[in-house]
Amino acid sequence: MKNEMPAIRKRLKDAKQVIITTHLSPDGDAIGSSLGLHHFLTQEGIPSQVIVPNAFPKFLQWLKGSDEICVFDEDKERAQQLIEVADVVFCLDYNETKRTGPMQEDLDKSMAYKVLIDHHIGNPTWPDINLSVVGASSTCELVYDFAEAYSNGELTLNQDLAYALYTGLLTDTGNFQFSATTPKVHMQAARLIEAGVQPDLVHNHINNSFDELRLQFFGFCVSERMKILKDRGIAYMALSREDIQQFNIQTGGTEGLVNEPMKIANIDVSILLKEDEGKVKLSFRSKRDIDISVFAREFFQGGGHRNAAGGVSFASLAETEEELVKRLNNFNIS
Ligand SMILES: [Mn+2]
């Protein structure tokens, strides 16, 4: 990352408007990395504005600065204006602009200097500078690296920055359990704790913040909707819009649900199908070296990481389920 710093430093010094963007339906890593970078730039005396495509879940709204985030689909005129005048755009936790949903057109039009920091599989050619590392635990890990490289190894971590980055490390590693949880990730987490992060506080905000109905919804999904493909080590849950509405589930309310079947010892793959307006969203999880992103890309226009991927289908929920089972039956899980 070091080699790119002089160029970025110069761009940032000359910039009149710096914006930080992330993907649609922002998760802990998307918001954590965006706010982490924002707090770092603020510390460096560089003003910046975070813009996200749509609303993000309540369990992230305690992070400092989250109330100043511009939400594109709620404040379109302002967001468009910011993108239009921006001279530097940071693109965090995505590598295709289509992942920004309603923001895509404005981002594609923008002539700003684009800096990509991401950890998803892909080989984008559109960024001016690409600091991505495929296989890194999280974009937060890479924003930490960026901040360190930018400060020539003399990084001061303020508490707001530390909380933001810790949040993404925690959520994208599934509470430090996925295989990308390297010694380096723990080392960064240690530094963030030294900087004032209370791990239990983050954990409670993120993981222990269900309301009663949401936990009942998880129970319902596991007991009424989970199907297991015997001898294949695969579990999936297909949720209709009614299922979701019945429990009054809001944006981000199904977060983590796909991980529930993974708690079963001989389940190696878990898939969540979620009916949405005119489409079905799919989430995939796998254990060990099973690359589920290949399956997601090949059959469901998706992609992501080896052990966590997403996809979409424009058929009905029942048809998608049928298609999924058919494809799974021909898929070689090693
Ligand atoms: Mn991520």
Domains and CATH numbers, the chain: 2-206 (3.90.1640.10), 212-329 (3.10.310.30)
Give the pLDDT score at 334: 61
Taking a C-beta distance cutoff of 8 angstroms, is the pair 155, 192 a contact? Answer: no
Q: Which residues pair with 21 in a beta bridge?
A: 51, 91
**pLDDT per position as a tens digit, 149-204:** 999 989 999 999 999 999 999 999 999 998 899 999 999 999 999 999 999 999 99
Q: Taking residues 49-70, what's their average pLDDT?
A: 96
Give the pLDDT score at 230: 79
Is the pLDDT at 328 greater than 80? The verdict is yes
Residues surrounding ion ligand 1 at CB below 5 Å: 29, 93, 139, 172
Is the pLDDT at 333 greater than 80? The verdict is no
Confirm whether pTM is higher than 0.85: yes
Give the pLDDT score at 158: 97
- Report residue 128's pLDDT band, with 50, 70 and 90 as the boundaries: very high
Q: Under 8 Å CB-to-CB from 143, ≥6 apart: which residues?
A: 33, 36, 37, 40, 92, 117, 165, 168
Taking the centre of ligand 1 as the mean of its atom positions, its distance from the CA of residue 82, in whole angstroms, is 24
Q: For the chain, give the percent of residues with pLDDT over 90.
A: 92
Residues in the chain, how many?
A: 334
Taking the centre of ligand 1 as the mean of its atom positions, its distance from the CA of residue 230, in whole angstroms, is 31
Taking the centre of ligand 1 as the mean of its atom positions, its distance from the CA of residue 270, in whole angstroms, is 19
